């Protein structure tokens, strides 16, 4: 979407980052650029207003959902597994680099780390999907 008028901040950039603006998850300098854009561009302002109303509606309808009590510990556990896998991977990469050559055999720990990475990626994907459903419900 574009209003056809030139702006300092392009309409597509504004719309790509609209939820960051709505959620106040961007630096103040970017917020100012977006506010200026909304002041100049009625199509983007209209889209902003619509998305803001949708966000309010979702919050009103879904904002009371109770979060499972063990969710935080599960998420923190997954984060810790990812950190451990990354730390093991970077330490292992250094060791492999030094031991590379004919007949070098990868360590079995790599398979475990890769499995944890895949499991963590699947969990992150599930969490993102749930958040997306909640955001657009």
CA distances from 133 to 20, 25, 62, 87, 111 (A): 17, 20, 11, 33, 33
What is the pLDDT averaged over residues 29-52? 90
Q: Name 126's Cβ contacts closer than 8 Å, sequence gap at least 6.
A: none
**What pLDDT, in 10s, does the model give residues 111-123?**
555 555 555 555 5
Per-residue confidence band for 57, with pLDDT thresholds at 50, 70 and 90: confident
Predicted local distance difference test score (pLDDT) of residue 104: 46
Q: Name 111's Cβ contacts closer than 8 Å, sequence gap at least 6.
A: none
Check if the beta carbon of residue 110 is closer than 8 Å to that of residue 68.
Answer: no
What is the pLDDT averaged over residues 26-47? 90
**What pLDDT, in 10s, does the model give residues 71-129?**
888 998 999 999 999 888 876 666 555 555 444 444 545 555 555 555 555 555 555 55
CA distances from 112 to 70, 75, 87, 108, 117 (A): 25, 19, 13, 7, 9
What is the pLDDT averaged over residues 45-67? 84
Check if the beta carbon of residue 85 is closer than 8 Å to that of residue 117.
Answer: yes
Predicted local distance difference test score (pLDDT) of residue 116: 54
CA distances from 38 to 34, 42, 43 (A): 6, 7, 8
What is the pLDDT averaged over residues 59-73? 80
- In total, the chain counts a number of residues equal to 137
Predicted local distance difference test score (pLDDT) of residue 118: 56
Predicted local distance difference test score (pLDDT) of residue 111: 55
**Quick check: 137 pLDDT over 50?**
no
């Amino acid at each position: 979407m574009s209003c056809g008028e030139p702006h300092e901040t392009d309409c597509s950039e504004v719309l790509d980052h609209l939820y960051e603006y709505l959620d106040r998850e961007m630096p103040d300098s970017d917020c100012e650029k977006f506010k200026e854009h909304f002041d100049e561009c009625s199509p983007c302002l209209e889209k902003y207003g619509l998305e803001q109303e949708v966000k309010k509606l979702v919050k009103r309808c879904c904002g009371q959902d109770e979060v499972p009590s063990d969710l935080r510990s599960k998420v923190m556990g997954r984060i810790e597994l990812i950190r451990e896998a990354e730390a093991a991977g970077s330490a292992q990469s250094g060791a492999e680099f030094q031991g590379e050559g004919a007949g070098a055999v990868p360590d079995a720990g790599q398979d475990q780390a890769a499995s944890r990475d895949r499991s963590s990626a699947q969990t992150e994907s599930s969490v993102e999907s749930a958040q997306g459903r909640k955001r657009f419900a």
